[in-house]
Structure 1
Amino acid sequence: MFFSGEYEATLDAKGRLVLPTKLKAALPPETGDNIVLMRGFEPCLVLYPYSEWKKVFDKVAGLNEFNEEYRNFQRNFLRGNTELELDGNGRFIVPKSMMKFASIEKDVILVGLGNRIEIWNPESYENFLIKDQQEFSQMAQKVLGN
């Protein structure tokens, strides 16, 4: 399983989003059509196949609940997460509270990022991208260089 690429999509009148064919095909077989949708750290939504979500959840749930900082992180990280199942057409309903969080109205950009998919308002996504190639090059050197 590996999600990659950018895909334009549109929510229908009922707030349903069709997972693009290539992304749906990359869902791990053990996950079936079970996904988890959550708020991102940026103003976007993050979609995980259930099997990948379980790995993330286990890390977060394993934090010491008696540590105030960890409790606050757990509370904020896990708030509003929604387990969903794709319907026969590969659609799922995006909850209104999540649409509001990510400023999503109708059009979206889905971005495959390895083990997860981000769902963005196209304008917000464009604003979060690094536009300066030199800045991006320096980041690549810092992150991937020796």
Structure 2
Amino acid sequence: MNFLSGEYECKLDPKGRLVLPAKIKANLPVASGNNVVLTRGFEPCLVLYPQLEWKTIYDKVASLNEFNEEYRNFQRNFFRGNTEIELDSTGRFVLPRTMVRYAEIDKEVIIVGLGNRVEIWNPDKYEDYLIKDHQNFSQLAQKFLGDGPVTENNI
């Protein structure tokens, strides 16, 4: 399994192109080739999925019952503006203007590998969404990864 990870500072060129960091590009699944899908994130960022990962998510969302208004509304907003992209040999691609406006990206971006996907952020916005309190971060790690709080009963 390929694992997309790391945090990288990058710049858009004057034509609005972005080059994926070499470590990210090298870890894209071979079966996806140079094909990725760019979509809006739930937060004000862009999300880049390898083609195979996107297919899994696409199938889940597309299988929702279209006769249910709530599902239709979710599908409409989720699929809105998704763009299939083929990376060039250097891992470069153009960020569509509508996506750039959505994520408030200017010239600099932060690219963050998150396992099965990559987020592309305006650096200032990214900082707004990071956990700044170390104790809070530690508690979340314990909640999601640990066995719960240590008590006299489980020592």
1:91 corresponds in structure 2 to 92
Instruction: For 1:50-69, list aligned pairs within 5 A.
Output: 50-69=51-70
Q: Secondary structure at the match of 1:43?
A: coil
> Mapping of 1:33-72 within 5 angstroms?
33-72=34-73
2:108 pairs with 1:101: no
Deviation at 1:140, TM superposition (A): 1.6
Distance in 2 of aligned mates of 1:65 and 1:76? 13
Structure 1 gaps of 5+ residues are none
Instruction: Name the counterpart of 1:137.
Output: 138
SS, match of residue 110 in structure 1:
strand
Aligned to 1:30, the other structure's residue is in SS state helix
Q: Aligned AA for 1:26?
A: N
CA distance in 1 between counterparts of 2:138 and 2:89 reads 43
* Post-superposition offset of 1:142: 2.1
Q: Which residue of 2 aligns with 1:24?
A: 25
Code of the residue aligned with 1:44 in structure 2: it is C
The aligned amino acid for 2:95 is V
Offset of residue 144 of structure 1: 2.1
Partner letter of residue 99 of structure 1?
V
CA deviation profile, 1:33-59 (whole Å, cap 9, x unmatched) = 001000000000000011110000000
Q: Post-superposition shift, 1:90? A: 1.3
Aligned positions, number: 146
State the shift of 1:29 in Å: 0.8
Q: CA deviation at 1:74?
A: 0.5
Please give the TM-score of this superposition, normalised by the length of structure 2: 0.92
| Identical aligned residues as a percent | 69
Residue 11 of structure 2 corresponds to residue 10 of structure 1: yes
Structure 2 gaps, min length 5: 148-155
Paired with 1:143 and 1:15, the residues of 2 have a C-alpha distance of 38
Per the normalisation by structure 1, the TM-score is: 0.97
- RMSD of aligned Cα (Å): 0.8
Local SS of the residue matching 2:28? coil
SS at match of 2:31: coil
